[in-house]
Structure 1
Amino acid sequence: MKHRWPLFLSMHEFRITPVSAPLAKAQRDKITAFWESENAQVTNPEKRLEEVAYCAHTEDGKLIALCSYHLGRGIYNELPLYFMRVFVAKDYRQTLLAFNLLAHLAESLADEAKGNLIAKGVGVAAILETDIVKNRGTIECCRTFQFPINKRPLTFVLTGYTSTGSPEYCHFFERVVNSSKPHNSGEKDSSDSLNHSAFQRVSMGQNPSLDASIASFLAKERQLELESVQAYLQQKIIYVRYQDEVIVTLGLLAPKLLPEINAIFFGLNLVAASQEGHKINSGASSFIEDIFSDMNVRHSGKLGEAVGIYNLHSGKTSLPLINSRTRFHFQGLDNEGRELRLRYFDGAKLVV
């Protein structure tokens, strides 16, 4: 079967070059003519010309694609992000050229932001056009790719939708959080080691003695009636972390629709043991890692099921946008000011 377009382009068939502002008149005319020849619907072309960052040409100098960006705010997370746009000539759209251009621009902006505490953008974003989404039928919740220009793989996560239903994907620049700032320790711990610790997924009803221990632990830590706790636990997926055979943390999960993504996630609630009025949070990040790993094996790549795990913090934290340990990313603040963080299962997809 002969394809209308080449599925892959060799690096020897085109070259990607950066564009320096301000554009010379000849460059502006060439790009404008390219848009016209491809019937591109470009709003405010003068402004777009100022935003062009990379161009792709064939070996004989024919312009076949370009990539531009502008500073904006995330749809739901409201973070300052560099929104990237790619336009590729129709004969080259079924190739990896668009991703290659995005890879060049994202790497350039990440290098610029590295070590720059006053960088304007905290990441890059791209919006997938609605007609492309409809043709595909499904969208991936997480996309990772790497080209020779990239020092490490670039991971873009689904973070929201435009008013017309186009999905927004974000890649956050990884930076070190200021450790002098106090923060909610729901994911990150000052100490992450537990001596003689153990991890277990529990199915209520199989071990009456363990069921009673879990119910008593939760009733004590949440100051609830034992009968109401037992009914509550029947509706949860339960993980237990022990220290020296004593329960120190419960991980309770239940499915819920997150309207920000329009998908089902498992909400994760951690209940830690108290000691002299203080919560013992040691090992929380490791516990979250273990829970995610087990749930990921059970649910990854299953269309129509939950696509990941989320948890809520009581207020805005000073954690990095991507927790380097748990890999949960900042999704935004809900209407009660709580910080929402989530992570997708491997291969998670949504029907559109």
Structure 2
Amino acid sequence: MSDAVTLSVVWQQTSSELTAEIKQYWLDEGLVSSDVADQRADQVVVVARNSDNSLVALSSVEAHFSRRFQNYFYLFRTSVSRRAGGQLLSNQLLNTTYQELNNRYSSELDSPIGIMAVIENKHLARLYYQAVGARSQMFFAGYNANGQQIRLRYFEGATIRPLTIEK
């Protein structure tokens, strides 16, 4: 039986202790180099802990201008440790991250208008066959140059920026 997991929102409130823990998690999981971990620690939105209070999953975002969609989105990333296997935490992390960022949505011109996810995991890509995910509410928006699905979910009340066509 899987260990119970608790999610906590840590967006823009990471302490030096949590930052060190996040970096160590990434390094232990072999996900990013130390340099990248330093840059990304402040991008973490949600952490998941098991009953031993160990970090077993997290989500992070990075503001990104999509040329394809001509708008800013938060590029969503998630990591679930093998120690948390079978928990299906990716969707929980996504939905908790979405709710937090949706609550903070600003209609300023260069603010992200939603979340964008690129499905890099081939196993997950096979699970995402619906045009709009039943659990995630993310809709299929096409494939990138690597053949990976792009999924979007707009914030409530989001508006697209006017298209500027260069001559």
Alpha-carbon distance between aligned partners in 2 of 1:258 and 1:228, rounded to the nearest angstrom:
21
User: Cα deviations across residues 138-175 of structure 1 (Å, max 9, x unaligned)?
Assistant: xxxxxxxxxxxxxxxxxxxxxxxxxxxxxxxxxxxxxx
For residues 318 and 298 of structure 1, do their structure 2 counterparts lie closer, same or farther at Cα, with a shift above 3 Å needed?
same
C-alpha deviation, 1:351, in angstroms: 3.2
Are 2:64 and 1:256 equivalent residues in the alignment?
A: yes
Match of 1:94 in 2: none
Match of 1:238 in 2: 45
For residues 351 and 210 of structure 1, do their structure 2 counterparts lie closer, same or farther at Cα, with a shift above 3 Å needed?
closer
Secondary structure at the aligned position of 2:48 is classed as strand
For residues 337 and 207 of structure 1, do their structure 2 counterparts lie closer, same or farther at Cα, with a shift above 3 Å needed?
same
Partner residue of 2:10 out of 158, 176, 201: 201
C-alpha deviation, 1:281, in angstroms: 5.0
Q: 5 Å matches for 1:38-187?
A: none
Match of 1:312 in 2: 118
Letter in 2 for 1:340: I
User: Cα deviations across residues 152-209 of structure 1 (Å, max 9, x unaligned)?
Assistant: xxxxxxxxxxxxxxxxxxxxxxxxxxxxxxxxxxxxxxxxx972513222436x5222
Alpha-carbon distance between aligned partners in 2 of 1:247 and 1:262, rounded to the nearest angstrom:
36
C-alpha deviation, 1:228, in angstroms: 4.0
Secondary structure at the aligned position of 2:96 is classed as helix
Are 2:101 and 1:295 equivalent residues in the alignment?
A: yes
For residues 310 and 194 of structure 1, do their structure 2 counterparts lie closer, same or farther at Cα, with a shift above 3 Å needed?
farther
Letter in 2 for 1:351: R
User: Cα deviations across residues 17-69 of structure 1 (Å, max 9, x unaligned)?
Assistant: xxxxxxxxxxxxxxxxxxxxxxxxxxxxxxxxxxxxxxxxxxxxxxxxxxxxx
Matched-pair contact (CA < 8 Å) for 2:7–2:46: no
Q: What TM-score does the superposition give when structure 1 sets the normalisation length?
A: 0.40
Match of 1:336 in 2: 146
Q: For CA contacts below 8 A with separation 6 or more, give which structure has more relative contact order.
A: 2
User: Cα deviations across residues 298-317 of structure 1 (Å, max 9, x unaligned)?
Assistant: 015x1411110011112553
Match of 1:220 in 2: 28
For residues 224 and 292 of structure 1, do their structure 2 counterparts lie closer, same or farther at Cα, with a shift above 3 Å needed?
closer
Report % sequence identity. Answer: 16
Matched-pair contact (CA < 8 Å) for 2:70–2:161: no
User: Cα deviations across residues 78-107 of structure 1 (Å, max 9, x unaligned)?
Assistant: xxxxxxxxxxxxxxxxxxxxxxxxxxxxxx
Partner residue of 1:210 out of 18, 27, 30: 18
Partner residue of 1:273 out of 78, 81, 89: 81
Matched-pair contact (CA < 8 Å) for 2:8–2:47: yes
Q: Structure 2: where are the runs of 5+ without partners? A: 163-167
**Relative to total residues, which structure has the larger strand share, 1 or 2?**
1
**Displaced runs of 4 or more, over 4 A:** 278-281
Matched-pair contact (CA < 8 Å) for 1:267–1:311: yes
Letter in 1 for 2:112: A
User: Which of these two proteins has the greater Rg computed from alpha carbons?
Assistant: 1
Letter in 2 for 1:247: L
C-alpha deviation, 1:248, in angstroms: 1.5
Are 2:129 and 1:322 equivalent residues in the alignment?
A: no
User: Cα deviations across residues 95-129 of structure 1 (Å, max 9, x unaligned)?
Assistant: xxxxxxxxxxxxxxxxxxxxxxxxxxxxxxxxxxx
Match of 2:165 in 1: none
Are 2:88 and 1:282 equivalent residues in the alignment?
A: yes
Secondary structure at the aligned position of 2:62 is classed as strand
Letter in 2 for 1:259: R
Alpha-carbon distance between aligned partners in 2 of 1:262 and 1:223, rounded to the nearest angstrom:
30
Alpha-carbon distance between aligned partners in 2 of 1:220 and 1:313, rounded to the nearest angstrom:
22
